[in-house]
Structure 1
């Protein structure tokens, strides 16, 4: 049996019954160690600023004084893996722009809870057993639809964020992997992949043209963000 890497976790929810349910799930789950259970965002902020870093934050969205999304924006770096817990199926639009590993809908089902924990173990850098995906030259094994698939990154034109997923786009396929764009960016072992927009990473070997607002990569066109344009041009080193 493979030993699991211990993950320390913090529960933050203003609903006592929700906290108790999550505490029970944590106690049932091998490899999870509860560091604290906190009733609101302000208490969580104080705890995370004054204690050693934790690996996993189980975080309610709607809380008084400081909600879950506001807390994420002001948390000290490096961030733990964050799993949002909410009563609403329609998440706030800004939630999809934040570095969140997964979302759980209340009332939380234990099987779904285990899936979220496994997603954190598989893809979040601090919780994963390996510091990077398994790579061999241009190839990486990525988990697609529950199985490991060999992807030749020389063939990838760009990578697009899709909520907590990333889409690897080649000439013939779109591989959807359950890992955030930020996490994938940190773990890619290839220097020719560069962030060009908050939602896109481009393969510089595939760029055919650049203008003020977009890139042309073979048959595809993707936007270039103002904040990323200077770094892109530095990496391309135009004559």
Structure 2
């Protein structure tokens, strides 16, 4: 049986904390190890240890949840943002959050987020002071060398090993990254930054803060009024290329400079 997840509930509203605690009490493998009403209290609890997962609100007095997330020490707990505001998802994932749950939090959605957090925990003993370094680590914990021969993507049916050459692009949609391949599309816990570390850099390019693109699968680049492009893939998908990335693509492809490139 898996050890209980020790969860810190962090929200500046007492009612919100109590509701989350009640939801967590329904899960037999979860233990509420404390509550925090502001970012400073969150950091104090994390530094004290004994926390596996933090359910973290964004808007709190003093340090915001995102501020606290950015200031957490190395080896920090896994963090699930619980907020009523959808617009901070990209920033949250860039700071290393494992999930982003919108209020009002539903039990099934919370359970899914906790399962994701558990899967990202390193299998280390509770007493870290006496623990020996693990012989191996989870694939999602430490990115392997660039140019991975097969990208492992955990799914409900098992781990799918994807040939990077078959990947046309990866995109952040809503709260998760989807990897698009010739064999199908897969949701993944990897962030775009993690995927960029795992995939061949000569093929994959971060063309937007929400997209990673394999130029081998691009059939057409359509100019946009913003100065960027709309990239069309062989499977008919479209990927937005930002203006800055469009400049880099033009240089890389040896295309004629635009007035903006020269300015």
Query: What is the TM-score with the length of structure 2 in the denominator?
Result: 0.60
- CA-CA distance at 1:53 after TM superposition: 6.0
Change (3 A) 1:115 1:43: same
Answer yes or no: is 1:132 the counterpart of 2:139: yes
Contact 1:193/1:201 (<8 A) preserved: no
- What SS class does the counterpart of residue 63 from structure 2 fall into? coil
Gaps of 5+ in 2: 125-135, 141-147, 218-230, 249-263
Contact 2:93/2:191 (<8 A) preserved: no
Answer yes or no: is 1:165 the counterpart of 2:173: no
- CA-CA distance at 1:138 after TM superposition: 4.2
Q: Deviations over 1:52-104 (max 9, x none)?
A: 2632110011111121122112221233221111134x333634543222222
Q: How well do the aligned residues superpose, as a CA RMSD in angstroms?
A: 4.1
For residues 199 and 51 of structure 1, the distance between their equivalents in structure 2, rounded to whole angstroms, comes to: 35
Answer yes or no: is 1:36 the counterpart of 2:34: yes
Contact 1:138/1:152 (<8 A) preserved: yes
- CA-CA distance at 1:16 after TM superposition: 1.0
Count of residue pairs the alignment pairs up: 210
For residues 202 and 99 of structure 1, the distance between their equivalents in structure 2, rounded to whole angstroms, comes to: 21
Contact 2:177/2:192 (<8 A) preserved: no
For residues 50 and 195 of structure 2, the distance between their equivalents in structure 1, rounded to whole angstroms, comes to: 22
Answer yes or no: is 1:91 the counterpart of 2:87: yes
Query: What is the TM-score with the length of structure 1 in the denominator?
Result: 0.65
Greater relative contact order (Cα 8 A, min sep 6): structure 1 or 2? Answer: 1
Change (3 A) 1:74 1:182: farther
Rg comparison, structure with higher value: 2
Tell me what 2:132 maps to. none
